[in-house]
Amino acid sequence: YAWKKQQQEEQSSQNISSNLAGNAPRKPVYKGPPPKPNRYGICPGYRWDGTDRGNGFEDKVLEALHSKGRKKEEAYKWSSADM
């Protein structure tokens, strides 16, 4: 019994080391047209068909973030223009 247990442990350690070495199967990746950016930078799943089924919230959030930075930059340029 101890011999079988030791053999199983050796096999499992070999499997773990081979997976860490890069021999593990690779996950499929989405290969369609580039998706719209999102807040978190998450890539779409490989089964995504390219159709955006959202309600537009993500677009509004990104637009608000970009306009906020643009307004700050414009205000700085406006305040330091006559120096």
Q: How confident is the model at residue 45 (pLDDT cuts 50, 70, 90)?
A: very high
Task: Give the C-alpha separation, 38 to 57, whole Å.
Answer: 10
User: Which tens digits make up the pLDDT trace of 50-69?
Assistant: 888 889 998 898 888 888 88
d(CA 58, CA 73): 23
What would the pLDDT profile of 12-27 be if each residue is shown by its tens digit? 776 665 555 566 688 8
The one-letter amino acid at 8: Q
